[in-house]
Amino acid sequence: MGKEGLESFEAILVWLIPLLFSFPLYALGLLTEVAGDYVTYFIYIACSITLTRYNQRTLAEIGLTTKAMLPSLGLSGVLVAAALLRNLIFRHSQFPSSIDYWTVVNGLFYCEFGGFGQEIIFRGLMLYSLQRWKGWKVALIVSSVLFGLMHVRQGVIGIVGTTVVGLYWGWVALQTRNIIGISIVHGLYNSLFAFT
Task: Map 76-115 to HEC letters.
Answer: HHHHHHHHHHHHHHHHCCCCCCCCCHHHHHHHHHHHHHHH
Rounded-to-10 torsion of CA 112, 113, 114, 116 = 80
The rounded mean pLDDT for the chain is: 89
Q: pLDDT tens across 21-73, in order?
A: 887 887 888 888 888 888 899 999 999 999 999 999 999 999 999 999 999 99
Least Cα distance to 121 among 10, 25, 2, 5 occurs for 10
* pLDDT for 105: 76
For residue 88, is pLDDT > 80?
Answer: no
For residue 4, is pLDDT > 90?
Answer: yes
Mutual angle of helices 33-54 and 101-119, in 10-degree steps: 40
Residues 156-172 have a mean pLDDT of 96
* pLDDT for 98: 59
Residues 174-189 have a mean pLDDT of 95
- Quote the domain boundaries for residue 33: 2-195
Residues 94-99 have a mean pLDDT of 57
pLDDT band per the 50, 70, 90 thresholds, residue 196:
low
How many Cβ atoms sit within 10 Å of the Cβ of residue 38?
17
For residue 195, is pLDDT > 80?
Answer: no
| Model pTM score | 0.89
Name which residue leads in pLDDT, 159 or 22.
Answer: 159
Name which residue leads in pLDDT, 105 or 29.
Answer: 29
Tell me how many domains the chain contains: 1
Give the single-character DSSP code of 54. H
Residues 78-97 have a mean pLDDT of 71
